[in-house]
Amino acid sequence: MSTTPEPESAYEVGAGVDITKLPLTPEEGFVVSRILGRRVTAADLIKEAVVEPQRAASVLESLARKGAVLRVSTGRAGAASGPDPYRGIVFSMVDLSEPADLSEEQRKRILFVEMNLESWSYYKLLGSKRTATPAEIKNAYFKSSKEFHPDAFFRKNLGSYRERLDRIFRAMKLAYDTLQDPQRRATYDDTASIELTPEEEAELELLAQEKRKVDEAKRRDERNAERMKEQRLKRNPMAERMRKAREYLELADEAKRAGKLDEAANHARLAAGYDEGLKAKVDVIVLQAERARAGTMMKRINQIVASPSDMRDMADELNRVADEVAEVAARANDAPLLVEVSTVLMKLKRPVRAAKLAQQAAEAEPKNPRAWEALAEAAHADSKWAILLRAADRWLHLEPANARAKELHKVGKRQS
């Protein structure tokens, strides 16, 4: 007797059973009180420690024999047999627990039909379909009547369900009366929207599926097109170069932000090599790097120039570096740097080149006296008197008290 009942058996207290009137042992009474109002299996009761595992079978057996509980196959209940017809519906606990001689299933069914009285067509209300023959409609009505006619609940305590059943049966009668009369049915069919028949429902499902497929195909096509475009770009060498160029430019920006200007310039140059279109951006970066470098070189030049012996020894290197800086200064159109290089070139006895740089500096910053000074000195050394005169004139104009300016102005005036 210690075997637990087969797992598919569930128990509930039958409707209308007054457990207080049954000859139950205290243990049975306790178990029943735990079953009341729900449907449980022996396993549930054991799990909840309502009854000891070895006693479960015999206690439930005895309760069933005394009529206190009903053994119901859980297979029969909604959950296991197909989808729950009331899925998504929340029934009021007040309605479900109201004292009435009805099973929970009956209550749910009544509440469910009642809440749909307005929205269901006559066909659906009777559990029939639009294409049903008169005989089928009669069948459906008879079946519904057996379920909802007041006589099916003769002299039972129904509480609020009496009125609900009354409403339902009245609606069913009206539905039947209408559908049974060919003329009234035709009028109804012509005017009312009626739920689809199962066949139509299937067709609708098919149509909806097709529609979903079409929609999905459209979306898929769109996604594909985008992917194809990307792939096309990938296969195109130009595009690949441009992509690389962008990558290098990014690296350059990164390096620049890190203060590594030379590295930035290198990346930038590579970028420009892949994509001509980036030249302007690249030039900015490169120039910035070159300026920085020129600044360093200028320092070195000034060191060398400070000592005449060094200047002599390293004349070649000095000339090369000066040229390099001059080039950067010219490209950057940097007046102070141009003036500085121009001054160095004068010291290296290259007045022609010095004049050229000074000229650029003066054009870049016409109000900078140092530019005009450099130009005047270079023109003087190169004996370009007209230029000397004009430069000295501008210099004097900016620094009227400068003695060297006055002197050179005089020389210029005299020579021209």
Partner 1 sequence: MSEERVIGIDLGTTNSCVATVEGGMPKVIANRGSYKTTPSIVAIAESGRRLVGHIAKRQAITNAQNTVYAAKRLIGRKYAHPVVQQARQVYPYKIVEGPTGDARIELRDKVYSVPELSAMVLGEMKKVAEEYFGTPVEKAVVTIPAYFNDGQRQATKDAGKIAGLDVIRIINEPTAAALAYGYKKNVKKRVAVFDLGGGTFDISVLDIQDGVFEVLATAGDTYLGGEDFDQRIVEWLVFGFAKEHKVDLRQDVMALQRLRDAAEKAKMELSVTASTEINLPFIMSTGKSDALHLQRTLTREKLEEMCGDLVERCVEICDRMLKEAKIRKDELQDVILVGGMTRMPKVQESVRSYFGMEPSKNVHPDEVVALGAAVQASALTKTGTGQPDLLLLDVTPHNLGIMIAGGYFNTLIPANSTVPTSASHVFTTTRDDQIAVKIVVLQGDSEIASANELLGEFLLTGLPRAPRGSVEIDVNFDISPDGIVAVSARDRATGAEQSIQVTATNKLTEEEMQNIIKDNEAFAVAEKTQEAFAEQRTNAERAVREIERLMPVVRDVIGSSDFGDDALKKAHQVVERAKRAIAMQDADALKSGREQLERTVVMFKGVASKVGKS
Nearest distance, CB of residue 74 and partner 1, angstroms:
18
Q: Judged by CB, which is closer to partner 1: 124, or 244?
A: 124
Q: What share of the chain is helix, strand, coil (3-state, %, to 5)?
A: 70, 5, 25
**DSSP string across 318-343:** HHHHHHHHHHHHHHHT-HHHHHHHHH
- Residue 68 one-letter amino acid: A
Using CB under 8 A as the binding rule, whether residue 178 contacts partner 1 is answered as: no
Of 18, 23, 87, 154, the one binding partner 1 (CB under 8 A) is 154
| Number of amino acids touching partner 1 (CB under 8 A) | 44
232 is a site residue for partner 1 (CB under 8 A): no
Does residue 114 interact with partner 1 by CB under 8 A? no
- DSSP string for residues in 225-267: HHHHHHHHHHH-HHHHHHHHHHHHHHHHHHHHHTT-HHHHHHH
Which is nearer to partner 1, 171 or 322 (by Cβ)?
A: 171
- Residue 319 found at the interface with partner 1 (CB under 8 A): no
What is the token pair recorded at 188? 């109804």
Own/partner contacts of 394-401, CB < 8 Å, gap of 24 or more, are 394/362, 394/366, 395/369, 398/367, 398/369, 398/372, 399/369
Among 96, 132, 196, 398, binds partner 1 (CB under 8 A): 196
Query: Across 83-234, where does the E strand assignment appear?
Result: none
Q: Give 253's strand partners.
A: none
In this chain, which of 74, 106, 157, 333 binds partner 1, going by CB under 8 A?
Answer: 106
Does residue 139 interact with partner 1 by CB under 8 A?
yes
3-state SS assignment for residue 13: strand
Does position 200 bind partner 1 by CB under 8 A?
A: yes
User: Of 177 and 310, which has the nearer Cβ to partner 1?
Assistant: 177
Instruction: Single out the residue of 190, 235, 257, 316 in contact with partner 1 (rule: CB under 8 A).
Output: 190
Sheet containing strand 40-41, edge to edge, reads 40-41, 9-13, 69-73
Who's near 133: CB < 8 A, 6+ residues apart?
A: none
Question: Considering only residues 195, 253, 393, 399, which one is a binding residue for partner 1 as defined by CB under 8 A?
Answer: 195
Counting contacts by CB under 8 A, is residue 215 touching partner 1? Answer: yes
SS3 70: strand
Q: If binding is defined by CB under 8 A, does position 166 make contact with partner 1? A: yes
128 binds partner 1 (CB under 8 A): no
* Among the listed residues 149, 162, 260, 331, the single contact to partner 1 using CB under 8 A: 149
Helix, strand, or coil (residue 179): helix
Q: Which range in 95-103, 223-231, 284-292, 370-378 contacts partner 1 by CB under 8 A?
A: 95-103
Q: Does 103 bind partner 1 (CB under 8 A)?
A: yes
Residue from the set 3, 20, 92, 119 that interacts with partner 1 by CB under 8 A: 119
DSSP 72: E
- Cβ(342)–Cβ(301) under 8 Å? no
Residues interacting with partner 1, by CB under 8 A?
15-16, 101-103, 106, 118-121, 138-139, 142-143, 145-147, 149-152, 154-155, 166, 169-170, 173, 177, 190-196, 200, 203-205, 207-208, 211-212, 215
